[in-house]
Chain A
Amino acid sequence: MSDTHASSVAFVRETAIEPAPPPATETGLIKWVRENLFSSTMNSILTVLSILAVYYLLTLLLPWIMNGVWDASSIRECREKLDGATGGCFAVLAERWHQLVFGRYPQDSYWRPMLAFVLMFAAFAPVLFSNLPRKLLIGTALFPFVAYWLVWGGSVLVPVAVLLGFVAGYLVYSRLVDQSFAMGFVGGVVAAILFWWASGFVVTEDASFMSLPAVESRDIGGFMLNLILGVVCLSVSLPLGIALALGRQSSMPIIKFFSVIFIEFIRGVPLITLLFVANVVLAYFLPPGSNFDLILRVMIMITLFASAYIAEVIRGGLAALPRGQYEAGDSLGLDYSQSMRLIILPQALKISIPGIVNVAVGLFKDTTLVSVISMFDLVGMVRGPILASTDWNGVYWELFGFAALLFFVFCYGISQYSQWLERQLQTDHR
């Protein structure tokens, strides 16, 4: 049989052909370029235009950065050194960095805010990364008091007394909370206030026990002021925002009414008008003779502002939970505070994280608005003392570029963290 077959078929291949390499246009770089840059006429035009734009920007920016002068004492010296060439005068950053970062904070005490800044990361770490040991949260709880003492100085007794007041309140709360949450909460607040009132007799302003040189609030400025405002206002506004969101979802008409009025009012007006209130109007509504720091008044207004926005974000989270979750809490026999704390809020807050981070980034950016009411934050420092000085009058791009870069690094970092956290908390399978 094989003979007949051999004579009828001229040639039969007995081995497979070696696989040929794909055509040159379908591999590697060329394929990628064809698919991603020149897939159609329109895309080719866009690509060429984009490359031209990038090239144009780089020819503007690169010489400016590369030729930059880092060592000069005034803009005139900068221009002499550049001698007509394009280049940035970054010497202003080298010479005025302390004003940009710390404002008029005493130079020999820079280690204090720096230490507080480093401690801030240590304090935030257990909150931000849930795989760290929970014991570290004690450090987080202590951080505000340590940071206040480091930044503002004065006797250590003041923050310690405030801290002990919180501890006293917590102890009373944990004793009473078994009976009812409301009772524990009210008892805790009363105990803390009683403690602070009593400690007022022991701690006086001029107590010099373990005292750091006190720093006036008006000397705090630069990027440090932006950071302080952002961190403090956001931390305080979170619990306030949760309370407002629950109030707005509440079935009690009076509570709901006031929550809605507050949230809509704050969200309806620009932050600048609230800062004007802090600057000029708030004094009318405080007891005559009371003397609040401007920074404290501004903190109050920014906190109220942020809490309204956070309340709306959390309300979205609460509304997104299926009704079954609320009903499940009720059917287990949990009361309102228990079902909120144990079932609803943990889920609602998880859903709201992206929104809360958006508010946080927005709030941090909005802290630059305090420069409008003549506080010397980073932007205020640039516009006021530095650009107005005879030495550096006219160095716009370097200073604004530096400010923009600093904010970009922080805000971009925060939003990247939030995207990471969202992936971590994702419990559904996609």
Chain B
Amino acid sequence: MTTLTDPPQESFRLSMLLNDTRYRSYTFQFIALILIIAFFSWLINNAINNPTLQSNGVGFGFLWTSAGYDINQQPIPFNSQDTHLRASVVGVMNTLIVAFLGCITATILGVIAGVLRLSNNWIVARLMSIYVEAFRNVPVLIWILIIFSIMTVSLPGPRAFRGDDPQSSMLFDAIAFTNRGVYVPKPLYEAGSLAVFITFILSIAAIFFYRRYATKLLYDTGRLLPVFWPSIAMFFVPTLLVFFVLGRPIGLEYPELRGFNFQGGIQVRGSLIALWLALAIYTGAFIAENVRAGIQAISKGQTEAAASLGLRPNRIMNLVILPQALRVIIPPLISQYLNLTKNSSLAIAVGYMDVTGTLGGITLNQTGRALECILLLMLFYLTISLAISGVMNVYNNSVKLKER
């Protein structure tokens, strides 16, 4: 008779650290950790022993000292007596301005080009593929420089607008394209303009609620309310009504030629326009590809199924194709926005004062605090990136197909 015995108690041997899969991963991780710590302590040790860093010290006190340089585009007031910190904040705002403008323009361009590339019109489809290929295959820096040269070299100087028979004239007598930038009218807010704004916001909210009500009514009772024309009416009528009733409280200040330059209005500098257009057109080409891929990813069976249910073509697009295509399009779209924001750091090549130009450019050169400046710069971009990818993850989870 055999009796069952307990399995032999294996004693731990040192060789098991390498040969036993249960312990081997600990060995590897331990070695990796040691190596990484050794590498970083070597780097930090070098930094501590570095003569430049030893004499200067490392600290962020320089942020509160006077900057001593001017910034040509100031979303908030800034003069050369203000601190480096304020200069950096102005830079951050300039980055966000160009990124925001660029993202909107790129989306519009990209969606139009992506849809037209699938058009059954031969010449339009070809033109769009030429646009996409030309811009995807040439560095964005070259495009920025090309558009910047157009802005500064090809456009006329303010002098050309002078005289009775000027060589150049303003567009609609309101917009002047000069080699010092584009001058556009500036809105002037007088008493009562707040009321106009509030009316506008309220009417947008009203449109939103009206559409929800119409959908609810449709699902509950099957009655179809008109949505498009009432929305348009709600968008324009109340705001315009208040605007004229209050006696046109929002006016425009037109730019005009005074002395050697234009005065009044808003001066949009060539560097901003170059950066904005180049980033928008370049990123638009990538977005066009994403849009095309998203629409093509929806199988033809979906269109046919919707058609066999009796839906009309525009309803097929709105209710069946687009909701599914957006699921495919939006994640790469958001990463294109991220790329655009990061590429906006190329502003330094055309002298647009974004955060790379202020904090990573002039502040760095003036104070010589390379380590701190670049650390802050990376931190800023990292924050934006992580925030956007966080938003993207939330979105991805919310639209994920719930299978099984």
Contacts and interface: CB of A to CB of B under 8 A. Distances in A.
Interface stretch (A129-137, A191-199, A263-271, A419-427): A263-271
B121 A47 contact: yes
B121 A267 contact: no
6 contacts: A37-B122, A37-B123, A46-B121, A254-B33, A280-B370, A366-B139
A361 interface: yes
B348 A253 contact: no
B140 interface: yes
B94 interface: no
A379 B139 contact: yes
Contact of B381 (A253, A273, A396): A273
B334 to A, nearest CB: 13
B167 interface: no
B267 interface: no
A288 B51 contact: yes
Given A252-B25, A272-B346, A273-B374, 9 more contacts: A47-B121, A258-B32, A280-B364, A288-B49, A365-B137, A365-B140, A372-B346, A407-B137, A407-B138
Given A277-B374, A396-B153, A254 B29 contact: yes
B288 to A, nearest CB: 15
Given A37-B123, A288-B50, A408-B134, A270 B153 contact: no
A43 B370 CA distance: 57
Contacts of A418: none
Nearest to A42: B121
Interface residues of A, number: 57
Contact of B28 (A35, A46, A255): A255
Interface string A26-54: 00000000011101000100110011011
Q: On chain B, which size bracket covers the interface?
A: 35 or more
Nearest to B27: A182
Nearest to A251: B25
Leading 10 A-B pairs by shortest Cβ distance: A268-B385, A411-B137, A36-B122, A270-B342, A365-B139, A280-B370, A268-B382, A270-B345, A396-B149, A254-B29
Contacts of B149: 396-397, 400
Interface string A172-190: 0000000000100000000
Contacts of A292: none
A415 B137 contact: yes
B304 interface: no
B377 interface: yes
Contacts of B110: none
A154 to B, nearest CB: 28
A371 interface: yes
Interface in B364-404: 364, 370-371, 374, 377-378, 381-382, 385-386
Interface of B: 25, 28-29, 32-33, 36, 43-44, 46-47, 49-53, 116, 119-124, 127, 133-134, 136-143, 145-146, 149, 153, 342-343, 345-346, 348-349, 356, 360, 364, 370-371, 374, 377-378, 381-382, 385-386
Interface in A354-397: 361, 365-366, 368-369, 371-372, 379, 383, 394, 396-397
A404 interface: yes
A56 interface: no
Contacts of B381: 268-270, 273
A281 B371 contact: yes
Contacts of A361: 136-137
B162 to A, nearest CB: 24
Given A50-B127, A270-B343, A272-B348, A37 B141 contact: no
A407 B139 contact: yes
A276 B374 contact: yes
Given A252-B29, A281-B374, A368 B120 contact: no
Interface of A: 35-37, 39, 43, 46-47, 50-51, 53-54, 182, 251-255, 258, 264-265, 267-273, 276-277, 280-281, 283-288, 361, 365-366, 368-369, 371-372, 379, 383, 394, 396-397, 400, 403-404, 407-408, 411-412, 415
- Looking at chain A's contact residues, is the secondary structure mostly helix, strand, loop, or mixed? helix
A411 to B, nearest CB: 4
B349 A286 contact: no
A258 B36 contact: yes
A36 B382 CA distance: 48
A284 B122 contact: no
B348 A411 contact: no
A284 B53 contact: yes
Contact of A284 (B46, B141, B356): B46
A404 B281 CA distance: 15
Nearest to B343: A270
Contact of A394 (B49, B153, B386): B153
A404 B374 contact: no
Nearest to B383: A268
B153 A379 contact: no
Contact of A255 (B29, B116, B122, B127): B29
A269 B342 contact: yes
A265 B382 contact: yes
A11 B356 CA distance: 92
A404 B127 contact: no
Contact of B133 (A39, A397, A404, A412): A412
Contacts of A403: 142
B137 A50 contact: no
Contacts of B124: 43, 46-47, 50
B152 to A, nearest CB: 9
A264 B204 CA distance: 39
Contacts of B32: 254-255, 258
B53 A273 contact: no
Contacts of A53: 127
A265 B47 CA distance: 21
Contacts of A372: 346, 348-349
B360 A383 contact: no
Nearest to B116: A46
B46 A286 contact: yes
A273 B360 contact: yes
A287 B46 contact: yes
Contacts of A288: 46, 49-51
